[in-house]
Structure 1
Amino acid sequence: MQPTWIDDMHRSRLCALLIDCNTDDIDAAATFWSAALGRGIDRAHPGTRGDYVMLDTPPDEPIVQLQRVSHESRVHIDIETDDIEAEVARLEAHGAKVARRLERWVVMDAPTGQRFCIVRVQRPGFPKNATTWD
């Protein structure tokens, strides 16, 4: 028998592109990616702190955030949802695996090996452009 929350409706959408940077100088990385993507660095954003730097994001576009990491440099996506556990269960049913559960998000691996995260709603306007799942 499935838990009742699997039967509940929830919504999800692409939230962010995270540029994981294995670097000692996250500010230099932010300067490069700011120039490459034509987006300013948003130093006033609450997401810009410590190992994280936010780039300016138009309201209807995914967030672009850089983060200093200890693993190899890569890019990963975040999927935002109004029900993290339901979204994790939905993606597990499609073959994804939970790599790590953290306090506010879940790190998953796609069947093809890419890492991605399931996060709570981050961007304004949710559920605009979100898919509704039963």
Structure 2
Amino acid sequence: MRIRWLTAFLDFPSDQFGAEVTFWRAIAGSTVSPPRGEHREFASLEPFNGDPHLRVQRIDEGPGGIHLDLHVDDLGAATDEAIRLGANILRSSLDTGWVSLTSPAGFVFCLVAWQGESVRSRPIRWPGDTISIIDQVCIDVPHGAWDREIEFWSAITGRPTTPTSRPELVRLSRDPALAIGILLQRNGPDDPSQTASGHLDLAANAVEDEVARHEDWGAEVVERLEQWTVMRDPVGRRYCITNRNPRTGD
């Protein structure tokens, strides 16, 4: 399976949708596309250059979260391969160009028909010379499903794993053609989570300055660590601002 493009999808309950889209639009430095879908439930966060790699969705049930869209040439063949690798189908609409699945650990993702997206957007330079970009989805994996989930994501993306400085973190090697990277994080053995979830990561050249900008938009600091700061957006959704090169993701 060849992954032509990756999109991070932010899923919001109806009562959070407007305010959350405003927050994430500001954080990304983007505009919002006209709504689309049968119920006008989808929109893209449009970068000032390049093709969108962030999208938002209004959902009718559940607390929302993050999922990934994998854009492929042959949706039927990609679905067959995903199932062979251990994915499970949730919903399918091949005639309209998407299939919703879960990974072996339960992380939701979609296979979608590629529409020609190919141009990576550039990071935003903010006042004060802070540079940042939302460029990574971190999949939080239950402790007992760790090895199987790493194997699955490496196989379905065709990307080898690369070491990090922490044993609970494994990164898939970045495809320079894609705007989104994938990091996997193993939950602790005492974490009660039984299903994988995910959160967004930003790369920033000046983490504290970036944190201050987010606080101005209503986010709160949860925890400061050496290489990243855990944040909570205005409705309590967690994400991380990380000390990485915004241009390369390294």
- 1: distance between equivalents of 2:65 and 2:116? 22
Instruction: Give the structure-1-normalised TM-score.
Output: 0.73
- 2:12 aligned residue (21, 32, 52): 21
Q: What are the ranges of 5 or more consecutive residues in structure 1 without an aligned counterpart?
A: 1-9
1:106-126 residue CA offsets vs partner (Å, 9 max, x unmatched): 101100110100000134339
Number of positions where the alignment pairs a residue of Structure 1 with one of Structure 2 = 115
| Structure 2 residue 43 is the aligned partner of structure 1 residue 53 | yes
Of the two, which has the highest radius of gyration? Answer: 2
Q: Name the % identity.
A: 28
Aligned to 1:94: 85
- 1: distance between equivalents of 2:105 and 2:116? 27
Instruction: Give the structure-2-normalised TM-score.
Output: 0.41
Cα 1:73/1:25, change in 2 over 3 Å? closer
| Distance apart, 1:29 and its partner CA | 2.0
Q: How large is the Cα RMSD of the aligned pairs? A: 2.4
**Given that residues 76 and 116 in structure 1 are in contact (C-alpha distance below 8 angstroms), is that contact kept between their aligned partners in structure 2?**
yes
Aligned to 1:81: 72
Q: What secondary structure sits across from 1:31 in the alignment?
A: helix
- 1:63 aligned residue (53, 56, 64): 53
Aligned to 2:102: 109
| Structure 2 residue 83 is the aligned partner of structure 1 residue 35 | no
Cα 1:124/1:97, change in 2 over 3 Å? same
Aligned to 1:7: none
1:91-120 residue CA offsets vs partner (Å, 9 max, x unmatched): 112111111112321101100110100000
Amino acid at match of 1:13: R
Aligned to 2:131: none
Aligned to 1:121: 114
> Segments of 4+ in structure 1 off by > 6 A?
none
**Given that residues 68 and 109 in structure 2 are in contact (C-alpha distance below 8 angstroms), is that contact kept between their aligned partners in structure 1?**
yes
Higher relative contact order (CA 8 A, sep 6+): 1
Q: What are the ranges of 5 or more consecutive residues in structure 2 without an aligned counterpart?
A: 120-175, 179-250
Aligned to 1:5: none
1:57-91 residue CA offsets vs partner (Å, 9 max, x unmatched): 3426x521111002321110000111011111111
| Distance apart, 1:14 and its partner CA | 3.7
